[in-house]
Amino acid sequence: MDRRRVLLIYTGGTIGMVRDIDSDALIPFDFEHVQSQIPELKSIDADLQGLSFDEPIDSTNMTPDVWSYLLSVIEENYADFDGFVILHGSDTMAYTASALSFMIENLTKPIVLTGSQLPIGVIRTDGKENLITAIEIASKYHNDIAVVPEVSVYFEYKLYRGNRTHKYNAEHFEAFRSSNYPMLAEAGVNVLFNTSYIQLPSEEKPSFHYDMDSGVFILKLFPGISEAMVRHVLKTPGMKALVLETFGSGNAPSAMWFLKLLAEAIDGGLIVLNVTQCTQGSVTQGRYETSSALQHIGVIGGADITTESAVTKLMFLLANRSSNHEITQDLQRSLCGEITVEPAVH
């Protein structure tokens, strides 16, 4: 069998930095010579090709336009490569992984995002292991079928579904977690795949959706939030959808002014998605009286979706669905494994 081909895409971020001998400054390294920088890559049973953004960006400057450009790179090379590894800054990696999972429908090949907390050019870097194993996962096939045919995040020996991740630590190498969904694989002496939790590849032809609508805002509730503040947020020009970060299992203040303002906004066409502030657990509207009122006025329960996934799913649906009714329906079902849908009770 021919060796699998993996495209390495460097968008920017800590992982791609090496120390310049002349200036002692950290600069992006040349991915055309990636194998000379990391000789261990020669031991991987895959053919690598590198591609770098003309101007690598810090992930804090990530935008939907960059996601669309990244998508174009993947689509243009989709037929020629068996897997893709995207090197990305960790700060917004969960947003990019989530966005790509919605923007590529019927995915059949691995897309693995990875990065590092320390640059490749630093002696204690976590970047080499992250990169090597990400490539190994992206090139892993069994009976000519990709083992992990979905958008994933690999960091510090663990592989997660991309749209289930969140960055929880700014200092430790174990920077990411998937609090509401099991890891897809764990690397030790061998890479052990949790196959029962990995999506099967689609039998349909992949579709690439470039349009994303940024008319989304996040409102995080806190004790003492004022009527004036909420009123101001709900009148934000161009806002079409609101991610409402609530307490616990989806609870919010029961003050009449709060419910009235939300109800008026929803009646005016605003989509409001209820997402818990907790890193683990699910929104269950109606469990307590303080969330029953939200359900009554038309707030949509977000189940166990992450904030990152909620934002990007709304951006995707706003741009690719023709009505609020369609968006509401799709927010309550899993498009690509981003939420756990409870079975219907008969």
* Residue 53 contacts residue 74 (beta carbons within 8 Å): no
Question: Any residues with CB less than 8 A from the CB of 342 and at least 6 apart, and which?
Answer: 303
Q: Which of 176, 208, 240 is the last residue of a domain?
A: 208
> 11, 14, 96, 125: which is the annotated catalytic residue?
14
pLDDT of residue 16: 72
Total structural domains within the chain: 2
Check: CB of residue 168 under 8 Å from CB of residue 178: no
Which pLDDT belongs to residue 123? 66
243 and 291 co-located in one domain:
yes
CATH (domain of 169): 3.40.50.1170
Active-site annotation holds for 14:
yes
Phi-psi region of 144 (alpha: psi -120 to 50; beta: other; left: phi over 0): left
Residue 346 has what pLDDT? 41
Q: Is residue 336 part of a domain?
A: no
Same-domain pairing of 157 and 222: no
Q: Tell me the CATH number at 265.
A: 3.40.50.40
Q: What is the pLDDT along the chain (346 residues), one digit of tens a residue?
A: 579 999 999 998 777 776 666 777 766 666 655 666 677 877 888 999 988 888 888 889 999 999 999 999 999 999 999 999 999 988 999 999 999 999 999 999 999 999 887 776 676 777 788 899 999 999 999 999 999 999 999 988 899 999 999 988 666 566 778 999 999 999 988 999 999 999 998 889 999 999 999 999 999 999 999 999 999 999 999 999 999 999 999 999 999 999 999 999 999 999 999 999 999 999 988 777 777 899 999 999 999 999 999 999 999 999 999 999 999 999 999 999 999 986 544 4
Residues 6+ apart with CB under 8 A from 160: 152, 153, 154, 176, 177, 178, 181, 183, 184
Last residue of a domain, which of 162, 190, 208?
A: 208
Domain residue limits at 326 = 216-331
Q: Which of 165, 182, 208 is the last residue of a domain?
A: 208
Q: Is the pTM of this model over 0.85?
A: yes
H-state helical runs in 220-303? 227-234, 256-267, 289-297
> How far is Cα 336 from Cα 150, in angstroms, rounded to an integer?
9
**9 within domain boundaries:** yes
244 and 131 in a common domain: no
